[in-house]
Structures are given as C-alpha cells and as structure tokens.
Amino acid sequence: MALIELRGVSKIYHLGGEEIRALDNVDLDINGGEFISIIGPSGSGKSTLMHILGCLDSPTRGSIKLDGTEIASASAREQARIRNQKIGFVFQFFNLLPKLNVLQNVELPMVYAGCSARERRERAMAALKLVEMDNRAKHRPMQLSGGQQQRAAIARALVNSPKIVFADEPTGNLDSHTGETILRLFHELSLQGRTIALVTHDPEIAAVTPRKIEIRDGKIAQNVDAKLSGQRDGPKFDVGDRQNLTP
Amino acid sequence: MNFFNAIAVGLKEIWANKFRSLLTMLGIILGVSSLVAMSALVKGMENGMKAALIAIGGLEKVRVEEQDIPVWQQHMADQAVGTTMNDVHALLHSAPLITMVVPEMRTRNITMTRGGKSISPWNFIGTWPNAVDLNQHVVAHGRMFNEIDDENARNVCVIGTAVRDALFGSPEQVGREVIPIGEFVNINNQRFKIIGMFDRYESEQDRKSRELQKDKPVEPKTGPERSKGFGSGKGSKGGGMSGGFVYDLKNNTVYIPLNTMWLRFRAATGVSGAGSGSYSRSSGTSAGSTSGSTAEFVPDPRLSTLSIKVANIDQMDEALQQAKNVLMHSHKGIEDFSFRTQENWSEDIGTAIKNYRMSGGIISAISLLVGGIGIMNIMLASITERVREIGIRKAVGATFIDVFTQILVESVVIAIIGGVAGLFTSNVLVQILIKLSPTGNTPVITVESMVLAFAFSVAVGVLAGLFPAFKAAKLNPIQALRYE
C-alpha cells in the first residue's frame, strides 16, 4: 500500500463568480522512501497540491489517504496533529522564528507534540547533528548564512520523524553552490529511507530526483519514474560525492 | 503545549518588546493604582465618619425622648408623668439588656462669666458621673465630679475646651494651654469651681489642619477686626458628612452634678418625689438620710432626657422592647416617650460610603478598562507583526488552542505584571496623597481593595486578550506563511 494515495482530488476556488480549478481530478500514489519532485510553472497547481498533501488545506472533492488514514475530511485539530507528527516542511524562506535560537527552533514541533524538555533537547541535538548544525545550536537564525538556516529548517522538519518531508523551493533563496549542498543533503536523507518531496519550478532541480511529477493546469501532465522506465538521467551528481556533508 | 511553556513564551515576547510592553502596562498600572487609591480615600472618609459617630456615644447609645401622647391616649394627657427619675431606677432594676442609664437635666439661658468674658454653653447639663462613659468623654485635666459631689450638690463643674477658650482664652490666643482647674466661674451668678476639663475633641481632619497652622507664620491682619460672615469660623469644617459639628457640640459642654442642677437652677416647682432626687440606688431609708441636706427644697423630678446604653447592638430590638415595657409601667401606660438611636446616622454613613465607593469605583474601573483596550490594541498590532510566526507555528503543528493560549497568556501576563506594579504604585500614590492633603481623612489602603483591583486587572487582561487570540488562532496557515 502506498504511503499517500490521492483519488479524484479536486480543489476549486471561486474568484468573482469564476471557477478556478487549481487541482482537477488528480490521482497519485507516493510510496514510502521515495524521493520525488513535483514540478510545474507558477499557477500550475503544484503549491495547492503540496498544501493538500501537507494537510495545510482540504480538497474540495476526492479522498487522500496518508499512511492508511483518510485526511481529506479531517478537522483543523486533526490536521494540526497530522502536520505535527507525520509531515515536515522546508520552505523557500527558511521560516525560522528569529526570536528563538536554532535549538529552540528545532524543538518547536516537539513543544506542540508535548515532549518533555529533556527529550526535546536530545532529539533536537540529534537532528541538528544529522544536518551538521550541532555546533550552531545556540545561534540566532540571523547570525547564520542562508544555507545554514535552511539546514536548521531541515532539522526542524525531521525532528518529529515524519512520514514525509515537503520542501517548497528549498534552494530558491540560495546561491547555486549552497543550493547544491542542500539538494545533496536531501539526497542523502532519501538514501536513509526518508520520503521526500521537492516542490519546484526548476527542471534542473527536479532532475535530482528519480521520480518527477509534472503538474500543468491542475492536472498531472507527466509522471516519470527513472527507476521504472530505466532512464538513467537521474541524479546529476554522484551519490558518493559527499565530501561536503560528512567529515 | 503545556501551560508553563505558554507563560515562558509570553514572558519572552514581552521582554523582547520592553518599551512597548511597559507603555501597555502603564494603562493597567494607572488603573489599578487609581482603584486602590480611590478605595483608600473612601476608607479614610468612612473612618472619619465612624469616628464622629463614636464621638457622640456610638450605636449603643439610645436617648429616651419625650413625645406627644398618641391620639388614642389623649384623654389621659393630664395623667402623663413625663420622664422622671422613677424611670431611671425602674430601668436600672428591671431591664437587664440595658447596661447603663444616665439621667440628664438640661437648662437653657445659662451664662457663664469670669472677669469680663462670658459664654452661653450649648450643653449645660446636670447629670450623673457615668455620663462621661456613655458620651465618650475624656477628662484630660482634673477629674469628673463623683457621687459624693452629687450627693452633696456641690457647686462644681467639668467644662469642655470651647468653654475654656471663651473664658480663659484658647491656646492659639494665649500662646499656651490654659488649664483652669481650681478656678472659679460664675454660672448665672452662682460661684462654681472648675474641677475638670475634657479633652479637646476634633476630627482627625481638624487636628491635622491645626497642626499645619501651627507651623505657618501668622498671617498679618489686614484692616480692622471683623467677622467675615457665616461659616468663616476658625477652621473650615469639612461639610456635614464629616461630622465636624459633633465635635464642636461636644467641646461646648458643661457638666454639673444632677442634684446641683436641681437645687441651683430648677428648685422651684414640681411634684415632690421622695428620695427620687437622690443619686443613691439603695433603699429609701438611706436615700432619705443622705438627702437630708436637700430636703427643704422641692426638686423637680422631671428630666429633659434619659440616655441608655444597650448591652449588645445585635439585641437592639429586644433591649428597646424591654426598656419600653419597663417605661410603660412607670408611665402609667401612657406612651409619652420615644427612643432615638443613631441607627439612622449609621445607615446614612453606610449609604454615603457606598455611593462614594460606587462612583469612585466606576471611574477607576473605566481607567482600567482603557488600560485593557490598550492591551487589546497592542496585542492586535503584535499579532499582525507576527502573522508569519503564527503561520510557522501552525505549519509545525500548533492547534487553534495552542495559538489561542499563547496570545491570551501574553495579554494576561502583561495585565498581571501591570497589576502587581500598580499595587506598588498605589502605595506610593497614597503616600503622596497623605502628604499633599494634610486635611481630610487619612487614606487607608485595604487588602480587599488590593485584591479586587488585582483581580480586576487580570480579568481585563483576559478580556482584552480574547479577541486578538481568537483572531490569531483563526489564521489560515497557508495565507499566514505567504504574508510578508
């Protein structure tokens, strides 16, 4: 059974009497451990898809099963719990709270999960170690470079061991070199068995992932899996090339 | 998110915006301190009024006054005996709920003279020595006349300070306190020895203004000596409710023994009451023997008033009923008397205080409310600033309740800090009020008012936080995350 199952999902907005189908009858399966990219130009509906998959929004029609449970009709409270426990978000603008230091930012999801202070600290440090930010735990986000901030944000997304991590244009606000490091980090995390979905408009970034889902006008235009189709235009960089990541 | 976390987050947020938070708290601080200070002022006023009430004998004192005979007893009008010494003895023997009975005989048209000075005291009363206790007099110098003075009808008197001021000069005029014990004065041309003088009775208000006056240099007089019109006496009295007239009345008192009153000022007409003129409560024979010196006179046994003291205020009704039953017997069943208590005055004080408290409370409550609006305003501005933060928190799993609690706690924490600071400020404020206005009753801070003001400020904090908290918690995470 797939980790995420979308069946006939539509999202319809009404703008001044005009009906806008941001998502139109989408069927999609995402399996556990997959590393996928959702690509499409702006206005294609990829953000809407991510919001619905990420439990930030509910579809107008259709059913979504995450980890076997139906979430399309979940209440706001249940959605918040699902976001907290099963989903991690990485944003283009990092979205760390400027008043908290890195450690506190990473602890934030666990605060809402109701973990004890000690457990929060241990798990947050472990997550920071994973992204090699443990030596910056006491820094404020403003004292860090963009790449470091994004890594802290990734640590925050991972800290509650979510079923799937959504990264919305994670390299959009970084220079190309730093962006590449971040993508490499995602790749490594995917190799550790985590399910990761990159949302981007950039085909070059999408080229990193084995599976690409292209959205156009609210519909899935292309659903290519490099492994299944045997195409070998997958990762542009060598998986073993990780000297920047691990000491 | 647990509660302590929420408080910690709230405190951090307040600390991050120190100046803004301080300004916001200022509204609450001022509101709380004005509420406490107002209540302290009213409490001071209440104390002043109660002191005046106690000065005239307190609630326990009841006067038995003459009253017109009721219509259905008019046919017995000529049988009515009036208030006499018989009533005094009857009450003393038969009314256990009454602890003290004091007969009073007043005379008008009295002139006291000494040298070229004279005064007509407002209260010239012949009474028993226990009148001092009942009327809450304090004999500051000399002594009160005793039972032997009364028995022998000696020409002695105990005077109030106003009488002293008139006959010997007040301390302000003379420059020192004249204590005229042992001096002789003429009362309607009869020589009386002053054996005692009462304390100077005055409200706290007057005492303070007098003390203040003492420090000030005497203002040079302009023009010839003259009266400046009604109400321009030495010390301006603080209006009717402060009870200043009570003290004036009390200072303007002269007590002489009851028997002396009968012999020197009243011995003309009336029915002879064998032994009833005697102070002695003992049997008729001893009364007869001791009152031998007064036998040739025919004293008027009627009294102007009779004051009684009730043993227990809670049993006021029972005691008055008992007194009435006894008096009905000694009055041949004719109801030519009535009771006059201070309950009315006490109730007036209660109502006045309630009104002051109400109006002052409403004004302070409004200022607290304004403080609350200030909090709400700042919280609304603050959540607008933090839309993105709220979006992030929601994206990582904060529920409606989590965000709601966070904002509400922040608002309540501001109110609590403001409330505590307000309680401190109120103490300072009241100290300043005491210094600023030495006249008037000293404000007294009560614990209840502090508790009330603090509770009110917390309630205002909660109310002010509800709407911003709701608004923040309702934010759509997607839009909040996009917010710039």
For residue range A179-189, what is the model confidence (pLDDT) as tens digits?
888 898 888 88
Indicate whether B269 pLDDT > 80: no
* Confidence band for A98, pLDDT divided at 50, 70 and 90: confident
Burial of B340 (C-beta count, 10 Å sphere; 0-12/13-18/19+): middle
Look at B397 and A76 and tell me if their CB atoms are within 8 Å: no
For residue B14, give the chain A residue with the closest CA.
Answer: A99
| Residue B212 host element (H or E) | helix B204-215
Of B481, B482, B475, residue with least CA distance to B380: B475
Q: Considering chain B, what percentage of its residues have pLDDT values greater than 70?
A: 84
Burial of B460 (C-beta count, 10 Å sphere; 0-12/13-18/19+): buried
- Residue B214: the pLDDT is 67
Chain A nearest CA to B10, separation (Å): 12
* Confidence band for B425, pLDDT divided at 50, 70 and 90: very high
Q: How far apart are CA B300 and CA B84, in angstroms?
A: 9
Q: How far apart are CA A80 and CA A45, in angstroms?
A: 22
* Confidence band for B270, pLDDT divided at 50, 70 and 90: very low
Residues 6+ apart with CB under 8 A from B453: B31, B32, B35, B36, B39, B364, B368, B419, B422, B423, B426
Q: How far apart are CA B162 and CA B185, in angstroms?
A: 15
Q: Mean per-residue pLDDT for A109-133?
A: 88
Burial of B430 (C-beta count, 10 Å sphere; 0-12/13-18/19+): buried
Domain at A148, CATH number: 3.40.50.300
| Domains: count for chain A | 1
Residues B25 and B418 sit within 8 Å (Cβ to Cβ):
yes
Q: Considering chain B, what percentage of its residues have pLDDT values greater than 90?
A: 18
Q: Mean per-residue pLDDT for A126-137?
A: 88
**Beta-strand relationship, B139-142 and B112-114:** unpaired
ipTM of the complex: 0.87
Number of helical (H) and strand (E) elements in chain B, helices listed first: 17, 12
Largest Cα separation within chain A, whole Å, is: 58
* Residue A57 in domain: no
- Residue B309: the pLDDT is 87
For residue B12, give the chain A residue with the closest CA.
Answer: A99
Q: How far apart are CA B158 and CA A219, in angstroms?
A: 112
Q: In which domain, by residue range, is A112 found?
A: 34-45+77-229
Instruction: With beta carbons under 8 A apart, name residues in chain A contacting B478.
Output: 51, 56-57
Q: Mean per-residue pLDDT for A54-71?
A: 87
- Residue B272: the pLDDT is 41
Interface of B with A (CB under 8 A): 1-2, 5, 12-13, 16, 388-389, 391-402, 477-478, 481
| Residue B305 host element (H or E) | strand B305-310
Indicate whether B279 pLDDT > 50: no
For residue B400, give the chain A residue with the closest CA.
Answer: A77
Burial of B333 (C-beta count, 10 Å sphere; 0-12/13-18/19+): exposed
For residue A54, give the chain B residue with the closest CA.
Answer: B395
Name the 3-class secondary structure at B123: strand
Residues 6+ apart with CB under 8 A from B274: B284, B288
- Residue B229: the pLDDT is 59
Indicate whether B287 pLDDT > 60: no
* Residue A127 in domain: yes
For residue A158, give the chain B residue with the closest CA.
Answer: B396
Name the 3-class secondary structure at B97: coil
Residue A194 touches chain B, beta carbons under 8 Å: no
Q: Mean per-residue pLDDT for B313-320?
A: 84
Q: Mean per-residue pLDDT for B466-473?
A: 93
* Confidence band for A245, pLDDT divided at 50, 70 and 90: very low
Counting one residue from A and one from B, how many pairs have CB atoms under 8 Å apart? Answer: 59
Q: How far apart are CA B291 and CA B198, in angstroms?
A: 29
Both tokens assigned to B424: 């401190």
- Tens-digit pLDDT profile for residues B174-186: 778 888 888 899 9
Nearest to B400 among A77, A96, A99 (CB): A77
Q: What Cα–Cα distance (Å) separates residue B353 from each residue in B38, B45, B123?
A: 12, 8, 30
Nearest to A83 among B5, B397, B401 (CB): B397
Residues B375 and B24 sit within 8 Å (Cβ to Cβ):
yes
- Residue B462: the pLDDT is 93
State the residue for tokens 């000491």: A247
Look at B1 and A112 and tell me if their CB atoms are within 8 Å: yes
Instruction: With beta carbons under 8 A apart, name residues in chain B contacting A156.
Output: 396
The amino acid present at B95, given as its one-letter code, is A
Nearest to B395 among A81, A89, A99 (CB): A89
Look at A112 and B397 and tell me if their CB atoms are within 8 Å: yes
Q: Does the predicted model carry a pTM greater than 0.90?
A: no
- Number of residues that make up chain B: 484
Look at A112 and B477 and tell me if their CB atoms are within 8 Å: no
Instruction: With beta carbons under 8 A apart, name residues in chain B contacting A58.
Output: none
Instruction: With beta carbons under 8 A apart, name residues in chain A contacting B393.
Output: 97, 108, 112
The amino acid present at B21, given as its one-letter code, is S
* Residue A9 in domain: no
* Residue A188 in domain: yes
Indicate whether B201 pLDDT > 80: yes
Look at A97 and B392 and tell me if their CB atoms are within 8 Å: yes
- Tens-digit pLDDT profile for residues B206-246: 777 677 666 666 666 667 766 665 544 444 444 444 456 77
Of B35, B39, B33, residue with least CA distance to B446: B39
Q: Mean per-residue pLDDT for B107-112?
A: 85
Q: How far apart are CA B131 and CA B136, in angstroms?
A: 8
Indicate whether B457 pLDDT > 60: yes
Q: How far apart are CA B176 and CA B194, in angstroms?
A: 19
Q: How far apart are CA B202 and CA B206, in angstroms?
A: 6
Q: pLDDT averaged over chain B?
A: 81
- Residue B78: the pLDDT is 78
Range with lowest mean pLDDT among A118-132, B114-128, B293-307: B293-307
Look at B388 and A76 and tell me if their CB atoms are within 8 Å: no
Burial of A168 (C-beta count, 10 Å sphere; 0-12/13-18/19+): buried
Q: What Cα–Cα distance (Å) separates residue B317 from each residue in B50, B62, B115?
A: 22, 11, 50
Q: What Cα–Cα distance (Å) separates residue B375 from each residue in B42, B113, B311, B370, B459?
A: 29, 71, 55, 9, 12
CB atoms inside a 10 Å sphere around CB A228: 10
Residues B280 and B289 sit within 8 Å (Cβ to Cβ):
no
Residues A157 and A89 sit within 8 Å (Cβ to Cβ):
yes
Give the DSSP letter string of B326-342. HHHHHTTT---EEEE-S
* Residue A52 in domain: no
Look at A80 and B397 and tell me if their CB atoms are within 8 Å: yes
Indicate whether B343 pLDDT > 90: no
